[in-house]
Structure 1
């Protein structure tokens, strides 16, 4: 049944991609396999992804936290392409008859050329100094630092994106992490849904400079604490 429901959206991806134009990326995620979740995509050049790419960090977090249960969509949030272009993104949650999430239909808009054009128009009537002092646009770096979603082509990229953010927040070098700090990081990654991806344990172990059995041990400890 789930596959039948999602199949109806495949043509919609193609249709919206042609109607909205090349600056709009349309993506269909099948959540049966979060590691290779993209089953249809139009204008993939916008984020640099293709069919078979994994679910994003925000998608994983949405499922892990159950955010979709009280909402049918999430609109107009910032995403970042693989080339660090800021995208305006929206996601519709596709649910089955039991209101469980089975897929996501996402639209990512690259408005960089329009921002550039608007700034060029402003320059016609204002000096550059005034534009720099009173610009209505935040700096790209500032937006990228706060962006909630990063579009990745592989499990390694998704894991690295989330892990780097966690380590930056803790301000601790990887080679100086204690066991308790590693346990805390694994807990955060687990809450963000990273371990729903096949191969995530191996990637996290590699990036935290520890063994896979250590990651499994941390997850076992966290599960016991949760059950208690």
Structure 2
């Protein structure tokens, strides 16, 4: 039994665990590099549909490069790779050595970035679309909408210090926003501005009579 044959039964459950945890777009591969038969290195694979490979498939070009300088550290984590049809992968490769330091296997993880890139593109399309703020208010009660409009018109000012012109400005804003279509809105607005209902109606008449 070779060292790889000893390791493979231990690594297979790990491969399944990684593939299951990350999802169907994550491929996990165990390459047998002990024989240097680079045409048939894949000893085990999970989610082979990611790259279209299966057991008995070949090494990648990085495996070929590793053979030239086998003594060096070739482990890499989170690097970019690609499939032959142009899809981007995020990959990690760990080379397993025997007691004499010779590379006997490669344990590789390849995540297809296509679904994430598509999700990002969709989010960007939404977030970077028309960002005009129309000031639309969503509430469960029309009175909440009215109260929000009133506070927007007052803009944090102290009502006690507001002049008549200030209050006319508030009523003009609310009239343009259609606030007076809310039932009994004049009573609520008058209370918030500290004026009588009659005064509020007089102010509203002045606003509507004034030329634009």
SS of 1:116's partner is: helix
Q: Distance in 1 between matches of 2:7 and 2:127?
A: 52
Partner residue of 2:64?
A: 60
Question: Contact 1:48 / 1:81 at 8 angstroms: preserved in 2?
Answer: no
Partner residue of 1:91?
A: 93
Question: Contact 1:6 / 1:30 at 8 angstroms: preserved in 2?
Answer: no
SS of 1:45's partner is: helix
Q: Unaligned 5+ residue runs, structure 2?
A: 131-212
SS of 2:39's partner is: helix
Q: CA deviation at 1:85?
A: 0.8
Matching of residue 115 in structure 1 with residue 117 in structure 2: yes
Q: Distance in 2 between matches of 1:81 and 1:113?
A: 14
**Deviations 1:104-126 (CA, angstroms, capped at 9, x unpaired):** 00000012111111121122232
Q: CA deviation at 1:75?
A: 1.2
Q: CA deviation at 1:38?
A: 0.2
Partner residue of 1:20?
A: 22
Partner residue of 2:42?
A: 38
Matching of residue 49 in structure 1 with residue 53 in structure 2: yes
**Deviations 1:1-43 (CA, angstroms, capped at 9, x unpaired):** 3221344222322222222210100000011232211010000
- What number of residue pairs does the alignment pair up? 126
SS of 1:98's partner is: coil
The alpha-carbon distance between structure 1 residues 64 and 7, as it changes in their structure 2 partners (threshold 3 A), is farther
Query: Which of 6, 15, 22 matches 1:4?
Result: 6
4+ runs deviating over 4 angstroms = none
Relative to its length, the structure with more helix (as a share) is: 1
CA RMSD of aligned residues (A): 1.9
Q: CA deviation at 1:65?
A: 2.4
Question: Contact 1:78 / 1:86 at 8 angstroms: preserved in 2?
Answer: yes
Per the normalisation by structure 1, the TM-score is 0.51
Q: Distance in 2 between matches of 1:117 and 1:77?
A: 21
